[in-house]
Amino acid sequence: MKKTIHTELAPAAIGPYSQGSAFKELVFTSGQLPLDPKTMAFVEGGIKEQASQSLANLKAVLEESGASLCSVLKTTCFLSDMENFAEFNEVYTEVFGTEAAPARSCVEAARLPKDALVEVEAIAFIK
């Protein structure tokens, strides 16, 4: 049976979707924007700050489901501008490392919700 994931530690959905869904041992998160969950406003700063917040929101959703950043199998990362790729990777590497990093796709999107610089989604397993 499908389980809907919701936590107050990540931004509430801004549309007709959930923060994540779990089925058996798998968790699928919705894309996490760089919104502060308390204010629902973007964090101040540029790509590094937004990437850090998106990944913190992703972590909160994963942990609510019983998964963690260590159990992520695949991420999909959307950047508003591939010129931000190197700086995004710096933050991403701080979170996931390089040795056991999950599979990943990283693409430039013509436009992200609320004109974010980054959005990150993941597939993980529940430990």
DSSP count for the chain of H helices, then E strands: 2, 6
Q: Do 35 and 56 touch, CB atoms closer than 8 A?
A: no
Helix (H, G, I), strand (E, B) or coil at 107: strand
Model confidence band, residue 37 (pLDDT cutoffs 50, 70, 90) = very high
Q: What CATH number does the domain containing 120 carry?
A: 3.30.1330.40
77 assigned to active site: no
- pLDDT-wise least confident of 3-7, 10-14, 34-38, 69-73: 10-14
Range of the domain at 25: 2-125
**Residues 34-60, mean pLDDT to the nearest whole number:** 97
Q: Do 71 and 122 touch, CB atoms closer than 8 A?
A: no
pLDDT of residue 80: 98
Number of domains, the chain: 1
Task: Choose, from 9, 26, 56, 106, the residue flagged as catalytic.
Answer: 106
Give the tens place of pLDDT for each residue, 78-115.
999 999 999 999 999 999 999 999 999 999 999 999 99
Model confidence band, residue 30 (pLDDT cutoffs 50, 70, 90) = very high
